[in-house]
Amino acid sequence: MNRRQFMVKTGAAIAGTGLVSPLASVMAQQTSAKKMRLAIIGTGIRGVNTYGKELMADYSDYVEIVGLCDINPSRVKFAKQYIGVNCPTFTDFETMVKQAKPDKIVVTTVDAYHNKYIVKGMEMGCDIITEKPMTIDEFKCRQILDAEKSTGRNCIVTFNYRYSPHRQKIKQLLMEERVGRITSADFHWYLDIYHGASYFRRWHRLREKGGTLLVHKATHHFDLLNWWLDSEAEEVFAYGLLEFYGKNNPLRSTHCRQCNFRDKCKFYFDITKNKHLMELYVAHEKEDGYLRDGCLWRKDINIYDKMAVQIKYANKVQVSYSLTTYSPYEGYRIAFNGTKGRLEAWVHENQPWPMQNYDQIRVTDNFGRTELINVQHSTGGHAGGDTRMKDKIFKNPNLPDPYRQSAGTRDGAMSILIGIAARNSIETGKPVRLGDLTDLKPQPKRPV
Ligand SMILES: NC(=O)c1ccc[n+]([C@@H]2O[C@H](COP(=O)([O-])OP(=O)(O)OC[C@H]3O[C@@H](n4cnc5c(N)ncnc54)[C@H](O)[C@@H]3O)[C@@H](O)[C@H]2O)c1
C-alpha cells in the first residue's frame, strides 16, 4: 500500500475523530529521526536524476547525500553542481566510504561493476540500494550472495516496475486467483526504434558491460514474471540473434556527431540539441572516451537484438517471452492463462497515437464474459513506479508491503539468472537449469 492508498483507507475512518492518523505519526517520527546518510557511486543519468536531483527535491526531509563518486572526475563534479548538494566528490570508492561515512550506498554504475561496489560497500559496513540488474553473470551473483551472508548487511534491488499501479492491479487479481490457477503466460516486450536503438549506441551494446539485453533490460521483465507468478524459474531454453543493428548496416561511423551518412541514416541522433546530455556526457568524454551518441552500426556490438525465451517455473507454469528492439512503437503484451479464464493486457508506452491516462486489463471467464478494468496512470517516472518505490525505500520503509513489492538479493538473483540461463542456452543450444548456476534452488513459491 502506498502513501496515497494508506491515506484513503485510514483517512476516511479517522476524519472527524480528532485522532492522529497512524501514517502521520510514523511520518512525524521519521522526519524527527536522523536523516539517512546516502552516498552514490555512478553519477550518470540515473544517479544524478532519480537518486540525485529528484531525491533532494522530494525526500530531503528524510535523506542527505553525503558523497558522490564516479570514475569520471569531471562528471562527478558536474553531478554535485547539477544535484545542488554540498557534499565531497570522489573518484575512489573506498576513500568515499571511509571519509563520508554513509549508512547506505546507491549503486548506479555501469551494470558490470555493480558487484564490486555492492560487495565492498557491505564489507565496509554499509547497506546497499542497487539498481537493476543486480549484476551480469552467475559468478558475480555468487559473490554478492556470499557477501550478504558473511557481512549480515542488507541489499535492496530497485525493481521500480513492480510499483506501477497497473502492474500492481494485475498482481492483486492474480493473488485473488481471479482466473483460477495460472498454468501458462505469454509475455512479449517491444522496444521502439528510439528507445530500443539507444541501447545499441551506449555501453549496453557490449555484453561485458550489460550482460546483453536478456540481463540488462529483461531483468525487469523476468522479475515481473517471478513476482506476478509468485514462483521461481527452474529451466530456460532460448534463441537470440543480432540481425538488425551492429554489423548489419554499412552506413558506419564512430558516433553521430562526425558521421558522413547523417542525411542517409534514419537513426541519426543529434545529441547537440539535448542540453542535459551535452552537459552530462559530451562535456566529460575527453576523460573516458565514452561517446553517448555512438553509432549503432558499430562492428563491436555483441548483444542480441531479437530474443525468444521459454521458461519453466518451479510451480509448473510455462512462459513464452520475447524481446524485440526495433519496433515502430513501444509497449508490451502480457497474458496469463488460468484454469478459470484469461487475464491480459496490451500496454503502449511510447505510442504514435494519442496517449490514454489509463491502462487496461481484460479479464475473460471461461464460458463467461469479458470484464475491462481501467487503471489510472500515476505521475512520475516509469508510470509512477519510481515515486512509489522511493516513498517505500526513503520515506517510510516500515509501511506494510501487502503486494511484496520490496526486493532483495534473492529476487535480484532469480531475475538475472533467467537472462543468464537464456544467454547460456543460446550459446550451447541446450536448456539450462537455474539451480546449476548458483546455490539458490528455485522454489515453487517465492520464499519470504
Ligand atoms: N530501474 C530503471 O528503470 C533504470 C533506468 C535507467 C538506468 N538504470 C540502471 O542504472 C545504472 C546506471 O545507468 P545510467 O543510465 O545512469 O548509465 P550512465 O552511463 O548514464 O551512467 C553510468 C555511470 O557509471 C560510471 N562508471 C562506469 N564505470 C564505472 C566504474 N567502474 N566505477 C564507477 N563508476 C563507473 C560512468 O562514468 C557513468 O557516470 C545501470 O545499472 C542501469 O541499469 C535503471
| 277-308 pLDDT per residue, tens | 999 999 999 999 999 999 999 999 999 999 99
Q: 409 CB contacts (<8 Å, ≥6 apart)?
A: 134, 144, 145, 148, 155, 157
Output the CA 46–ligand 1 centroid distance in Å.
Answer: 6
The whole-angstrom separation of Cα 2 and Cα 10 is 12
Whether the pLDDT of residue 366 is over 60: the answer is: yes
Please report which confidence band the pLDDT of residue 9 belongs to, taking 50, 70 and 90 as the band edges: very low
Question: Other C-beta atoms within 10 Å of 37: how many?
Answer: 18
Span 34-66, pLDDT tens digits:
899 999 999 999 999 999 999 999 999 999 999
pLDDT of res. 351 = 65
In angstroms, what is the span from residue 107 Cα to ligand 1's centroid? 8
Q: Is the CB of 46 under 6 A from ligand 1?
A: yes
The closest residue, in CA terms, to atom 35 on ligand 1 is 109
**What pLDDT score does 12 carry?**
35
Calpha distance 216→223 (Å, rounded): 12
State yes or no: pLDDT of 15 exceeds 50. no
Cis amide leading into 402 (omega within 30): no
Give the burial class of 429: count Cβ atoms within 10 A of its Cβ; 0-12 exposed, 13-18 middle, 19 or more buried.
Answer: exposed
Query: pLDDT higher for 283 or 32?
Result: 283
pTM comes to 0.92
Q: Measured from the CB, is residue 96 less than 6 Å from ligand 1?
A: no
- pLDDT tens for 135-172 read 999 999 999 999 999 999 999 999 999 999 999 999 99
- Find where cell 551518441 sits: 293
Minimal-distance CA residue to ligand 1 atom 41: 111
CA 109 / ligand 1 centre spacing (Å)? 4
pLDDT tens-digit readout, 188-228: 999 999 999 999 999 999 999 999 999 999 999 999 999 99
The string of pLDDT tens digits covering residues 401-433 is 999 999 999 999 999 999 999 999 999 999 999
Gyration radius of the chain over CA positions: 22
Q: How confident is the model at residue 357 (pLDDT cuts 50, 70, 90)?
A: confident
Average pLDDT along the chain: 92
Confidence grade of residue 32 (pLDDT, cut at 50, 70, 90): low
pLDDT band at 13 (very low <50, low <70, confident <90, very high): very low
Which pLDDT score is estimated for 28?
45
pLDDT at 310 over 50: yes
